[in-house]
């Protein structure tokens, strides 16, 4: 039996899937295992020796945290509360869970932390379920300012049956328009207003949105999937302290932890609802090894987070400047490229954001597209998203950004030099801002 061809999947993707599936059925188990080993090594080579990762949606994990994932913890169940587990012999895992939750609460200055979340997308679903009922109205950032699919119809919000309205946006701020949002909220009486997205260039008006939410009896969810690192590092204001009822996030992006999700809140009411969604509701047994890796990650943030966040932001600004100086169309909002660890290029001149990403991939750079409030690019995205979390983790500094910007500009201009890129990349072989 081989995987059946899926008519609803794009032909390019499904052809690749079928080719790999067919090869797998024709190989011995020994050969498949060898292939898996080779692919793991290839992936490491791509990300750690051949390419500079410009994608702000990924990062490198502390090897000590990575070791926790392979320690055998994750093969054990963890059903129930610490001190009252269903299975016996989980005393060590119980303590790991508490340590991870405590450190997460400490780093984000929150009263409660829910660590039993498989992903950032599911963190949003848990948040929607804790606050809303199917049929409720929510107001969310549109894709043109980085609003994530989980807040929209095809994602968690739509699948949960919420009525979704897009917030009006600032013409020059890459964020929601406060007065437009106020008028919409007063007219529609949403149960929830969300902020944050896949590209965040400047701080969002959390306090103003809190005022609007209070006027209509709504809650506020801040999606920090991308901004969690700069918030943890105190480089951006903490949304919880400006009125967000809860903050959701991925733990592997700017945070640099294991793949998974995290929710923090100061509300006991919301924390209790999240708790019941996680157990006995939707998570039940979960990956305790991920909790251990998350705890190591949070120790890194406790001790090195402020320096790491500051360096990410400084390098992002320097790289944006280096690209602008070479004539590349750096997107600006409020008169500057970014006050964050990420920024964007307007990508129409390169055929779109994904087309530009494919061009950069051949030159030894990893990136991806993003939506911008600019004219659409048919068949592609109109922006190219760039960021610095992994660059900084591997030791790049502000002083390196001019040279890096030159290489990126050359690649986008049809003058790639992947050998030179790989040679330079191999010089960055030690991680910074971690407990080594």
- Residue 221, pLDDT above cutoff 90: yes
At residue 172, the pLDDT reads 79
How is 348-393 classified by DSSP, letter by letter?
Answer: GGGTSHHHHHHHHHHHTEE-EEE--SS---TTS-SEEEEE-HHHHH
At residue 52, the pLDDT reads 98
Band (pLDDT 50/70/90 cuts) for residue 173 is confident
- Both 130 and 188 in a single domain? yes
Q: How far is CA 363 from CA 155, 318, 415, in A?
A: 33, 21, 9
Exposure class string for 296-316: b at 16+ Cβ within 10 A, else e:
bbbbbbeebbeebbbbbbbbb
Q: Is 48 exposed, middle or buried (0-12, 13-18, 19+ CB in 10 A)?
A: middle
Band (pLDDT 50/70/90 cuts) for residue 283 is confident
At residue 334, the pLDDT reads 87
Give the position of tokens 């260039």: 201
- Cβ atoms of 308 and 392 closer than 8 Å: yes
Q: How far is CA 133 from CA 76, 120, 151, 315, 343, in A?
A: 34, 20, 15, 43, 35
Band (pLDDT 50/70/90 cuts) for residue 262 is very high
Average pLDDT over residues 191-197: 96
Query: What CATH number did the domain enclosing 386 receive?
Result: 3.90.1150.10
Q: How many domains does the chain have?
A: 2
- Both 256 and 386 in a single domain? no
Average pLDDT over residues 351-363: 98
Closest by Cα among 272, 224, 301, 221 to 114: 272
- Both 259 and 326 in a single domain? no
Band (pLDDT 50/70/90 cuts) for residue 1 is confident
Domain range for 183: 63-299
Least confident of 121-125, 316-320, 332-336, 375-379: 332-336
Exposure class string for 194-213: b at 16+ Cβ within 10 A, else e:
bbbbbbbbbbbbbebbbebb
Cα(284)–Cα(224) distance, integer angstroms? 24
Average pLDDT over residues 395-401: 98
Condensed to tens digits (0 to 9), the pLDDT of residues 78-106 reads: 989 999 999 999 999 999 999 999 999 99
At residue 257, the pLDDT reads 97
Q: Final residue of a domain: which of 264, 299, 334?
A: 299
For residue 50, count other CB atoms closer than 10 A to its CB: 18
- Residue 171, pLDDT above cutoff 80: no
Condensed to tens digits (0 to 9), the pLDDT of residues 284-308 reads: 788 999 999 999 999 999 999 999 9
- Both 389 and 258 in a single domain? no
Cα(300)–Cα(432) distance, integer angstroms? 10
Q: Is residue 213 part of a domain?
A: yes
How is 414-427 classified by DSSP, letter by letter?
Answer: T---HHHHHHHHTT
Q: Final residue of a domain: which of 254, 269, 299?
A: 299
For residue 189, count other CB atoms closer than 10 A to its CB: 12
- Both 95 and 151 in a single domain? yes
Average pLDDT, the chain: 96
Condensed to tens digits (0 to 9), the pLDDT of residues 404-427 reads: 999 999 999 999 999 999 999 999
- Both 348 and 403 in a single domain? yes
- Cβ atoms of 156 and 121 closer than 8 Å: yes
Cα(194)–Cα(244) distance, integer angstroms? 9
Query: What CATH number did the domain enclosing 279 receive?
Result: 3.40.640.10
Average pLDDT over residues 307-311: 98
- Residue 19, pLDDT above cutoff 90: yes
φ/ψ of 423, rounded to 5, equals -60, -45
- Both 190 and 314 in a single domain? no
How is 394-416 classified by DSSP, letter by letter?
Answer: TT--GGGHHHHHHHHHHHHTT--
Average pLDDT over residues 52-65: 97
At residue 213, the pLDDT reads 98
- Cβ atoms of 129 and 277 closer than 8 Å: yes
């Amino acid at each position: 039996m081989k995987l059946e061809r899926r008519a609803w999947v794009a032909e390019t993707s499904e052809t690749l899937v079928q080719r790999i599936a067919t090869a797998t059925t024709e190989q011995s188990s020994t050969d498949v295992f060898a292939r898996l080993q080779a692919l793991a090594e290839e992936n490491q080579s791509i990300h750690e020796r051949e390419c500079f990762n410009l994608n702000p949606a990924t990062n490198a994990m502390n090897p000590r945290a990575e070791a926790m994932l392979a320690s055998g913890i994750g093969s054990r169940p963890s059903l129930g509360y610490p001190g009252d587990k269903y299975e016996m012999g989980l005393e060590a895992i119980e303590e790991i869970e508490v340590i991870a939750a405590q450190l997460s609460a400490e780093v984000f200055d929150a009263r409660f932390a829910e660590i039993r979340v498989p992903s950032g997308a599911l963190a949003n679903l848990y948040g929607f379920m804790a606050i809303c009922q199917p049929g409720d109205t929510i107001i969310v950032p549109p894709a043109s300012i980085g609003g994530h699919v989980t807040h929209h119809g095809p994602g968690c919000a739509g699948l949960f049956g919420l009525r979704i309205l897009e917030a009006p946006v600032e013409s020059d701020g890459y964020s929601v328009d406060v007065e437009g949002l106020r008028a919409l909220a007063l007219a529609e009486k949403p149960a929830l207003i969300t902020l944050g997205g896949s590209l965040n260039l400047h701080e969002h008006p959390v306090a103003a949105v809190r005022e609007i939410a209070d006027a209509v009896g709504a809650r506020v969810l801040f999606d920090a999937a991308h901004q969690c690192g700069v918030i943890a590092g105190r480089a951006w204001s903490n949304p919880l302290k400006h009125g967000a009822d809860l903050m959701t996030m991925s733990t592997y992006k700017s945070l640099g932890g294991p793949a998974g999700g995290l929710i923090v809140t100061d509300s006991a009411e919301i924390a209790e609802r999240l708790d019941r969604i996680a157990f006995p509701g939707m998570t039940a047994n979960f990956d305790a090894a991920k909790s251990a890796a998350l705890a190591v990650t949070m120790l890194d943030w406790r001790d090195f987070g402020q320096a790491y966040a500051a360096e990410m932001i400084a390098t992002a600004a320097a790289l944006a400047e280096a690209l602008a100086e070479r004539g590349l169309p750096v997107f600006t909002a409020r008169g500057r490229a970014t006050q964050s660890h990420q920024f964007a290029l307007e990508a129409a001149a390169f055929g779109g954001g994904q087309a530009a990403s494919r061009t950069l991939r051949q030159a030894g750079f990893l990136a991806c597209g993003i939506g911008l409030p600019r004219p659409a690019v048919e068949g592609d995205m109109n922006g190219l998203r760039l960021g610095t979390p992994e660059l900084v983790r591997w030791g790049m500094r502000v002083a390196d950004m001019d040279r890096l910007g030159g290489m990126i500009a050359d690649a986008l201009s049809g003058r790639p030099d992947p050998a030179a890129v790989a040679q330079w990349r191999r010089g960055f072989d030690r991680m910074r801002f971690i407990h080594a």
